[in-house]
Amino acid sequence: MYQVVHSKWEVIVNRERCKGCEICINACPQENLSLSKNVNSQGYHYVEFSEVGKKGECTGCKICWWVCPEYAILEVRRIEKTDNGS
C-alpha cells in the first residue's frame, strides 16, 4: 500500500490553439491563469497556468475548461504523488 502524500490540480493548455481571448483568465476564481509574454505560431499570446494563483491553489472547478471556446484548455486533472514515488 502507498499513501497519497501530495495532491493538486493542474490545467493542461494547448498553446497552439489558444487565441488569448482571456475568457478563462477572467473566469478563474483563484486567478491561476495568466497571459504569457510569448506568442504561439499564430501570433497570439497564450494562456499559462501557474499552480498557485493570487487567491490560492487551483481547486479543479473546471470553469476555464467549460468556457474556453477554442478547446485550448484540454483537461483539468488531478495529479497525485504517492510515497512510493509514482
Partner 1 sequence: MEVKQFSSIFENGVTTYCPGCEHGLLLKFIGMALDELGITEKAIMVGSVGCSTLAYKFLNVDYVQAPHGRAPAIMSAIKLLEKDKVVFGIQGDGDALSIGIAELIHAANRGIPITVFMYNNMVFGMTGGQMAPTTPEGMKTTTTPFGRDIKQMGPPLDACKILSSFPQISYLKRVVITPKPIFTKDRVMYSSKEAMDSYKAVLNAFKTQLMEGFSFVEFIGTCNVNWKMSILDSKKYVHEVGVKVYPPALCRDAFGVEKK
Closest of 21, 12, 35 to residue 68, by C-alpha = 21
Q: Say whether 24 sits in a helix, a strand or coil.
A: helix
Q: State the minimum distance, in angstroms, from the CB of residue 3 to partner 1.
A: 20
Residue 27's φ and ψ, nearest 5 degrees, are -70, -25
Residue 63-82 contact track with partner 1, rule CB under 8 A, x = bound: x--xxxxxx--xx-x-x---
Residues 31-60 that bind partner 1 (CB under 8 A): 42, 44
Strands 33-39 and 56-57 turn out to be: unpaired
**Among residues 21, 36, 53, 59, the one that binds partner 1 under rule CB under 8 A:** 21
Q: What gap in Å lies between CA 14 and CA 44, rounded to an integer?
A: 12
**Which residues here bind partner 1, judged by CB under 8 A?**
12, 16-17, 19-23, 26-27, 29, 42, 44, 62-63, 66-71, 74-75, 77, 79
